[in-house]
Amino acid sequence: MVTEVRLGEKAGTRQPPAPGEAKSRSPISGFRPDVEGLRAIAVGLVLLYHAGLPFIPGGFVGVDVFFVISGFLITGLLVKEVQRSGTISLAGFYARRAKRLLPAAATVLATTVVLVLAVVPRISWEEIGGDIVAAALYVVNWRLADRSVDYLAEDSEASPVQHFWSLAVEEQYYLVWPLLLLLVAWMVRKRGRELRHHLWIGLAIIAIPSFAWSVYYTMEEPPVAFFVTTTRMWEMAIGAAVALAAVWLTKVPQLFAVALGWLGVAAIVASALVYSTDSEWPGYAAALPTLGTAAVIAAGFSAGPRGPVAILGTRPFTWVGGLSYSLYLWHWPLIVAAAAYWDGLTPTRGLAVALLSFIPAWLTLKFIENPIRFSRTTFKVPRNSLKLGAALSVLGVVLGFSLIGITAVVSGGGVANAKGAAAITGKSFQAQKSADAMVPDPLEATDDVPDAYDKGCQVDVTSAQPAACTYGDPDGDKTVALVGDSKALQWISALDTIGKERGWKVVTYTKSACTFADVTISQDGKPYASCTEWNKAVTDKLLADKPDVVLTSQGKNKALDDPTDAKGGASEETMIKGMKARWNELTKAGISVAVLRDNPHPDEDISPVYECVDDNRDSLDKCAFDRSGGEEKGGGPVQVEAVKQVKGVELIDMNDYLCPGDECPPVIGDVLIYRQGSHLTKTYVDTLAPRLERELVRVVDQAK
């Protein structure tokens, strides 16, 4: 669930401050060497974590450290401006951020496109192109949040621009916070009241709901909670609170401030050592590094040389801190590219690549970032900085769409008369050795899915409410209910064709990763409660409507022995017992049950199959796998065993038409068989319709 980290806007360096930025030594502005060094700790944690070093499993806490730093620095500047002028120049604020962030970001995005074309498999180009577009528009966090719960995105590799999610969160926050400050300033000026007190109210309006939502949503949907803006705003608000409290913090006793500061450093380091990717994040757990960061910053107002500045303010720390934004931007694309080139990274290689990223980071800082950021001529005028920002954003969008376009150009194309399963005739079958062109092309395999997904027919992992979709003949005299997970829904295009030809109404009830059985299964390390609830609701619906046949399939083979404990173990025996119980409920009510055997699962070393095929179009045998081993994975074995134990339940087995021999080929009759994971392409399923119809007719004709 935990993936990437971020950097906030960089603090002032020992360079002259940019026009309009901090020059004075007021409590809430000016250069803070301890803060600069603090970001060095954070970016160091990030690099070590991404390098894969095992002793720092929680290096992702750098995201929280930088959110707090950013909230402190930006709020300090904004409050100072309000106190000085009574208002905030939004044009000036966004112009400063544009010239600060976008030149380096655009440089990295452009280089990333080159790296992707050079070393990343073509299969990923289209998806990465979309990521680059979203990164350039600072909305990539929402794209990643959506992907984190997208069952069809299971084969997605780490994106080289995935780390832009945190920058997106920050920019979205700064669309809200300055406007709220302006509103508070206007109300205070109108009513003649104290500004600072009301700023606390404005801050609470953001911080309290965001923290509450973060705690709740992290428990309910941790993969999404990690990326979305609403669960992170409170972290920047903590930094803002330190800025608002600056006047009081200068009066804190020095001894207390020293202790507070070092405790804050300890909290950050402890977070990096104690937390791991198993931690549900951010939620309440993120309070440790965020409050630790706030403590370090707050202590710096009065701790003096005995505080954390004694280390954080030294030249090595401030130098790395000054480089941190560029370093953050560069290290992750290089790590992803290196992993693609070497087919994975050892910690040693990962560390080497992370250290190598210092070179482009320094060059970017010296020759791109600072010349533009500290320009006293062209970019001194906010209008020019905003124009530059818009141009660079457009450049990023164009780069992303260009990568998508290149993917379409290099696609091998289709075959006009591809046979698919129709190529399997008689008892002998000669596996196809090569295919320059096929349908779908491997580069388009992940899009070759039933339209049921676009129609919302499959309930996602968060919902327990059944969703029904109707296919086939809506007025048919026989009703077939397709129930289960995505391994059931993959057959809907063939069932739709069969239903229309036979006059059957086909109704779907499917849910992501949810087996249709009276059991509780595990999802993301927790009991899949919404699946259990959905099961009960769907069963009640089926018993009420009484379709002629319930057709079910599944990809999972184990259920929790203790429904309340995902760590306590899961077994095939529990799954079989639950499947039998569910099917017996239906058969006792006069509903026939048929089970579509789960198809063989490809070996891990050739998965995703479409990527293997794209790399081996002239030697497809390299992407074949053993049938017996493939059938032992997934839901097939428990389905076969459960059917044996329930009278009247029929097993429908299509595996002879997927693996016509001892091996399962990746392509049959110029049709690619597999898409995401062990799922079948819609095109190949369509070619199986005549065979599936023969098996299903027997079951439906016997019903009632």
Answer left, alpha or beta for residue 561, where phi above 0 means left and psi between -120 and 50 means alpha: alpha
CB 526 within 8 A of CB 677: no
CA distance 333 to 331: 6
b/e string for 454-470 if b means 16 or more Cβ within 10 A?
eeebbbebeebebbebe
What's the pLDDT score for residue 156?
66
Q: What is the widest separation between alpha-carbon atoms in the chain?
A: 91
Contacts of 131 (CB under 8 A, 6+ apart): 140, 143, 159, 160, 161, 162, 400
Contacts of 36 (CB under 8 A, 6+ apart): 11, 12, 13, 312, 313, 317, 318, 321, 322
CA distance 184 to 663: 70
| Angle (nearest 5°) at CA 30 between 24 and 36 | 165
The full set of domain ranges for the chain reads 33-405, 429-702
Cβ–Cβ contacts within 10 Å for residue 588, how many? 9
Which amino acid is located at 211 in the chain? Answer: F
At 488, list the tokens. Answer: 């059931």
**Across the 704 residues of the chain, what is the mean pLDDT of every consecutive 10-residue run?**
35 34 45 94 96 94 96 93 87 93 97 95 91 97 85 70 96 94 83 73 93 94 93 97 94 96 97 93 96 97 95 96 97 96 92 97 95 85 92 96 86 73 81 86 91 91 91 94 96 95 95 95 89 96 95 95 87 96 94 96 91 92 95 94 93 94 93 93 95 91 73
What's the pLDDT score for residue 435?
84
Contacts of 247 (CB under 8 A, 6+ apart): 27
CB 162 within 8 A of CB 332: yes
What's the pLDDT score for residue 288?
97
Residue 517 — φ and ψ, nearest 5°?
Answer: -165, 160
Which amino acid is located at 52 in the chain? Answer: G
CB 563 within 8 A of CB 524: no
Q: What is the CATH number of domain 429-702?
A: 3.40.50.1110
CB 509 within 8 A of CB 547: no
Q: Which residue pairs from 534-540 have beta carbons closer than 8 angstroms and sit at least 24 positions apart in sequence?
A: 534/459, 534/463, 534/464, 534/465, 534/466, 535/582, 537/464, 537/465, 537/466, 538/466, 538/483, 538/509, 539/582, 539/585, 539/586
**Residue 470's beta-bridge partner residues?**
507
What's the pLDDT score for residue 457?
94
What's the pLDDT score for residue 232?
97
CA distance 118 to 237: 41
CA distance 449 to 673: 12
> Which CA distances in Å does 134 have to 108, 109, 197, 331, 409?
14, 11, 38, 19, 22
| Angle (nearest 5°) at CA 527 between 525 and 529 | 135
CB 213 within 8 A of CB 228: no
What's the pLDDT score for residue 411?
64
**Cis before residue 474, ω within 30 degrees of 0?**
no
